[in-house]
Chains A and B, each alone.
Chain A
Amino acid sequence: MHNLLETVFSHPAVRGGAKIAFCIGFFVLALVPLLVILERRISAFMQNRVGPDRVNLPFINRLGGILPGGLAQPLADAIKLLFKEDIIPSGADKFLYLAGPVLVLVPPALGMIVIPFGSNIGGEPLQVAHLGVGILFTMSVLSVAVYGLAFGGWASNNKWSLIGGMRASAQLVSYELSLGLSILAVLMLSGAMDPKGGTVDPRELVQRQADHGWNIFGGGNPWLLPAGLGGFLLFFISALAENNRLPFDLPECEAELVGGYHTEYSSMKFSLFMMGEFVGMILMCSLMVTLFLGGWSLPPLFGALNGANEWLAGGSILQGLVSVGIFVSKVMVLLLLYIAIRWTLPRFKYTQLMDLGWKRLLPLALANIAYVAVVGVAASGGQP
Chain B
Amino acid sequence: MTAGMWLKHWWLKLMIRSYIPAAIKGLSLTVRRMFQPRDTLSYPEEVHVPRKGYRGEHRLKKDDQGRMKCVACLMCQTACPAECIQIVGAPSPWPDRDKIPVVFNIDMLKCIYCGMCEEACPCDAIELTPTFNKVALTREEKIYDINKLLGR
Interface residues of A, Cβ cutoff 8 Å to B:
42, 45-50, 53-54, 233, 340-341, 343-345, 356, 360
Assess whether B5 is interfacial by the CB under 8 Å rule. Answer: no
The smallest beta-carbon distance between A296 and chain B, in angstroms, is 27
Say whether B27 contacts A341, CB under 8 Å.
yes
Measured between alpha carbons, how far is A343 from B31 in the docked complex, in Å?
10
A360–B18 CB distance below 8 A? yes
Residues of B within 8 A of A343 (CB): 30
Q: Which residue of A lies closest to B33 (CB)?
A: A46
**In the assembled complex, which residues on chain A have CB atoms less than 8 Å from the CB atom of B36?**
48
Residues in chain A near residue B26, CB distance under 8 A: 344-345
Cβ proximity bits B1-40 to A, threshold 8 Å, 1 near / 0 not: 0000000000000000111100100110111011110111
User: What residues on B are CB-neighbors of A53 within 8 Å?
Assistant: 42
Shortest 6 CB-CB distances between A and B: which pairs? A45-B34, A344-B26, A46-B30, A344-B30, A50-B40, A48-B38
Contacts of A356 in B (CB 8 A): 19
Q: How many Å lie between the Cα of A360 and that of B30 in the bound state?
A: 27
12 A-B pairs with CB atoms under 8 Å apart are A45-B35, A46-B30, A47-B33, A50-B40, A50-B42, A53-B42, A54-B42, A340-B27, A340-B30, A344-B27, A345-B26, A356-B19
CA distance A381 to B29 in the complex (A): 47
CB distance from A236 to the nearest CB of B (A): 11
Nearest CB of B to A209, in Å: 25
Q: How many residues of B contact A (CB 8 A)?
A: 18
**Is the CB–CB distance between A344 and B38 below 8 Å?**
no
Instruction: Please give, as numbers and ranges, the residues of chain A lying within 8 Å of B42 by CB-CB distance.
Output: 50, 53-54
Residues of B in contact with A (beta carbons under 8 Å apart): 17-20, 23, 26-27, 29-31, 33-36, 38-40, 42
Min CB gap A57→B, angstroms: 17
Minimum distance in angstroms from B115 CB to a CB of chain A: 32
List 11 additional contacts besides A48-B33, A49-B38; criterion CB under 8 Å. A42-B34, A45-B33, A45-B34, A48-B36, A48-B40, A53-B42, A233-B20, A341-B27, A344-B23, A356-B19, A360-B18
Report chain A residues within 8 Å CB of B20. Answer: 233
Minimum CB–CB distance from B60 to chain A (whole Å) comes to 39
Contact B23 A341 (CB under 8 A): yes
Within the complex, the shortest CB–CB distance from A339 to chain B, in Å, comes to 10
Please give me the residue from chain B that is nearest to A355 by CB atom.
B17
The CA-CA distance from A173 to B20 in the complex, in Å, is 23
A332 to B42, CA, bound (A): 29
How close is B50's CB to chain A, nearest CB, in angstroms? Answer: 21
- By a CB distance below 8 angstroms, the chain A residues around B29 are 344
Q: How far is the CB of B49 from chain A (nearest CB, A)?
A: 19
A356 to B20, CA, bound (A): 12
